[in-house]
Structure 1
Amino acid sequence: MSIFTRYAMDALMKTTHPEVNRKQCWNLHPHRTPCTACKDICPYGDEIFTRPNLVKDWDPCTDCGLCVSACRSGCIAPSPEQVQRDISPADSDGDTIWIGCEKSTRKNTVVRTCVSAYSWEALAYLALNKKIVLDLTPCGECENDVCAEHLRAVLTRLVEFFGQPLFEARFTLAYELDDAPFHVKEYSRREMMEQVTSGSKKGTKQLLRMLPGLRSEDESSQDFRLLLHQYTKQLKAVSETPLRYGYHLPNFTQKCFACGRCEKSCRSGAIKFEDLPDGQTRAVITPWKCSECGVCVAACSNGGLDGLKLRQLTSLGPVSVYKCTKTLCKECGKPIAPNCADGICSVCRIKLRTKKRQEEAVARAKERQAEREAKKAAEAAAKELAAEMQPSQPAQSAAAPEAGAAPAPTESTC
């Protein structure tokens, strides 16, 4: 296969595999240690990834979703097919979804390469619609430690998101074959007709969405966090006592002076600083955009962010988490720490120091130039004086021999 054919095939089949946004990867950030989670968990990691954020060939990819679930920086986005495949059980009949892996001998509604291929956002979205039974019977004999560790992280994150009581009410972990067996609900004739009618309506809507002319770009680029945000927003609107969800957000401290470094380092745009009419500045975080990667914490150099804190939210929309009064630099107008003595930022301080040193160097150069000119003038005056003294000295020396060579007087004879 030629390189042009490969590029053409990849362009035509680009929605059958995840998309990698290299700008959002941890490995391109100077404050993070190298991450190889996607390459380690992928069954074909060595064949697909040259480096964790650089794809060599998508041909071996089966679109299982393991790399999407393992990537916590959010640089690997699921394909539209995977999004539709993972959330479609929420519209199925019945009130329970059985999820298992390919090695399981039980009967399950959804079968994936591994249970951990479901991200915690996708499982949370399904749990808000149906009850979930996770078939973990093959996990005891599984030798893939990477998937097992990731599955534990996913379950821990779900407990933090829902809370222990709600998690136990919505999730059932089946470790034995007899735990939560698969069953089909029996419907009456009227209920069957209602299910058929409802299913046909949902299927028609889904088919209309799949048409090229009726499918919007927003729907094609949706991810699990956005879907989770939209559904929690709907639940909040219809319920009198909305549920609270645990989400890890950056923990701002009193040392923060809204310098904006964390906002620039956040590749997903989850952090924004807004100026208020009263002169204060507030930090607004959009939880559904935040991937809980911690890059903003690593980028903060003055202790303004103290890790990630678990907050209880009623929705995943924008929330204000911190307010402060911004102090600006006298020279450049950028935010500085309130306790800064000179009232200028470090960059301007270095510039002023450099300018002062340059002025001192120019003054010293002028002094040395004046000294050299004075020295040259003194030497020139000495030379002129020596030149004036030279003509008088030969005249005196010439007069002296003439006086010595005068003839002696002769004796007179009588």
Structure 2
Amino acid sequence: MSIFTRYAMDALMKTSHPEINRRQCWNLHPHRTPCTTCKDICPYGDQIFTRPNLVKDWDPCTDCGLCVSACRSGCIAPSPEQVQRDTTPADNDNDTIWIGCEKSTRKNTITRLCISALSWEALAYLALSKKIVLDLTPCGECENDLCAEQLRKELTRLVEFFGPTVFEARFTLAYELEDAPYHVKELSRREMMEQLTEGSKSGTKKLLQKLPGLRDEEDAGMDFRLLLHQRTKQLKAAMETPLRYGYYLPNVTDKCFGCGKCEKSCRANALKVEDLPDGQTRIVVTPWKCGECGICVASCSNHGIDGMKLRQLTTLGPVSIYKCTKTLCADCGKPIAPDSVDGICSVCRIKRRTKKRQEEAAARAKERAAEREAKRAAEEAAKTAAKESAKAAAQELAAENAAASAETAVPAAPAAAPEAAAPTASI
């Protein structure tokens, strides 16, 4: 029944292509050169992608996993089938896993379009359970330079993750057919049935964990890293002296003052800025969520993060990488650089400068308005004075005219009187 359950769940959860979280894509952040890695490395890139992080048709997709392993920001999440297909060999009975490409003539446990289709996280997870043999016999004749470059990156990252000693102990690079020949452990019928049953249970359990509602949204698209984190945590609990793994984390400098821009820019929610009870602030990074993309470095405007630094970790759980005491802005209360002269942030400084300029402009406007009022009042007063002076002059002129006419009329009256009285005297 368990075998039928496995196939039923496989059919139920069938997803034939990866998923893209466009919010997490590197191209949506400030950059000089756009990233086209997924489209370039995909064998059907022009048929699937209209441009990076935007898909027009998934039908040509073969779910090879090349775009998943090549994506620098982790915005392309593997399909559940790819996760199960790449991690199931860790549960088989052999102590060695042989991995090769489709061009290889030898028999391998895992066969992919290219070895680089397995991300370094998936290879690291397998190496923590079994020894790995990488069949590189066809790589010398391969003409795909992008896949060869991606494979070199994956192997270099694995060496940095495990260290040279552990890498040489867990990985074998087979350049010839005679190197690390493939062999299978003979199983009895009973052991074979037990292995099928266990494989069915583990496969069903993994698929059930991927059902909506049973899975945290923050963990979506982080399957290989999450599995790697869980495996390293198990090994740490089982070993007296835990292994150390190399992982790239943001290198925070003394210029960091906890502004939180890096936290806002991290779409994977791998970076958090936390305030402690003692008044200090710390920066916590969850390595298994971090895709080592460097977006936090690009978002820091104060050079508080000057790159990604390789650190040695015992597990991929949360790590505190920096502590500082915040200096808050006197106006808005946001974090500012400790060496700020006036004790305010750049935004409030601009606001103060703008307010000062507005006040100065208002004062100048009032002065100009007062000057215009004074000038207008002076002009009105001058007009009024001119009118009054003109009126006074007119009155004076009228008075003079009246006086002149009066002087002219008074002497003529006595001369006419004798003429009128003369007839009376004669009578």
Whole-angstrom CA distance in 2 between matches of 1:127 and 1:230? 14
Question: In the alignment, residue 311 of structure 1 is paired with which amino acid?
Answer: R
Question: In the alignment, residue 198 of structure 2 is paired with which amino acid?
Answer: K
Match of 1:5 in 2: none
Are the aligned partners of 2:38 and 2:67 in contact in 1 as well (CA < 8 Å)? Answer: yes
> How do 1:122-201 residues align onto structure 2 when only pairs under 5 Å count?
122-187=122-187, 189=188, 193-201=190-198
- Percent identity over paired residues: 73
**Structure 1 pair 210–390 and aligned structure 2 pair: CA distance change class (3 A):** closer
Match of 2:84 in 1: 84
Whole-angstrom CA distance in 2 between matches of 1:90 and 1:215? 25
Are the aligned partners of 2:13 and 2:80 in contact in 1 as well (CA < 8 Å)? Answer: no
Match of 2:389 in 1: 389
Are the aligned partners of 2:101 and 2:135 in contact in 1 as well (CA < 8 Å)? Answer: yes
Whole-angstrom CA distance in 2 between matches of 1:347 and 1:215? 43
- Deviations for 1:159-183, whole angstroms, at most 9, x for unmatched residues? 0000001111111111111111111
Match of 1:217 in 2: 214
- Deviations for 1:91-144, whole angstroms, at most 9, x for unmatched residues? 112111111111111111111111110000000000111111111111111110
> How do 1:193-272 residues align onto structure 2 when only pairs under 5 Å count?
193-207=190-204, 210=207, 217-218=214-215, 221=220, 223-272=223-272
Whole-angstrom CA distance in 1 between matches of 2:270 and 2:178? 44
RMSD of aligned alpha carbons: 2.4
**Structure 1 pair 218–400 and aligned structure 2 pair: CA distance change class (3 A):** closer
Question: In the alignment, residue 86 of structure 2 is paired with which amino acid?
Answer: D
How far 1:248 moved relative to its partner? 0.4
Match of 1:95 in 2: 95
Match of 1:334 in 2: 334
Are the aligned partners of 1:133 and 1:180 in contact in 2 as well (CA < 8 Å)? Answer: yes
Are the aligned partners of 2:14 and 2:81 in contact in 1 as well (CA < 8 Å)? Answer: no
Are the aligned partners of 2:209 and 2:215 in contact in 1 as well (CA < 8 Å)? Answer: no
Secondary structure of 1:290's partner? Answer: coil
Secondary structure of 1:129's partner? Answer: coil
- Deviations for 1:165-219, whole angstroms, at most 9, x for unmatched residues? 11111111111111111112245x5xx6345324423323434654699886329
**Structure 1 pair 84–209 and aligned structure 2 pair: CA distance change class (3 A):** closer
Are the aligned partners of 1:31 and 1:295 in contact in 2 as well (CA < 8 Å)? Answer: no
How far 1:364 moved relative to its partner? 1.0
Match of 2:315 in 1: 315
Normalising by structure 2, we get a TM-score of 0.87
Whole-angstrom CA distance in 2 between matches of 1:406 and 1:58? 122
Question: In the alignment, residue 354 of structure 2 is paired with which amino acid?
Answer: T
Whole-angstrom CA distance in 1 between matches of 2:33 and 2:399? 98
Normalising by structure 1, we get a TM-score of 0.90
Whole-angstrom CA distance in 2 between matches of 1:388 and 1:175? 116
- Structure 2: tracts of 5 or more residues without a match: 1-11, 416-427
Are the aligned partners of 2:80 and 2:210 in contact in 1 as well (CA < 8 Å)? Answer: no
Moved over 6 A (4+): 211-216
- How many aligned residue pairs are there? 397
Question: In the alignment, residue 83 of structure 2 is paired with which amino acid?
Answer: V
Are the aligned partners of 1:121 and 1:225 in contact in 2 as well (CA < 8 Å)? Answer: yes
Are the aligned partners of 1:32 and 1:298 in contact in 2 as well (CA < 8 Å)? Answer: no
| Greater radius of gyration (CA) | 2
Secondary structure of 1:179's partner? Answer: coil
Whole-angstrom CA distance in 2 between matches of 1:276 and 1:381? 72
Match of 1:367 in 2: 367
Whole-angstrom CA distance in 1 between matches of 2:148 and 2:76? 21
Are the aligned partners of 2:13 and 2:207 in contact in 1 as well (CA < 8 Å)? Answer: no
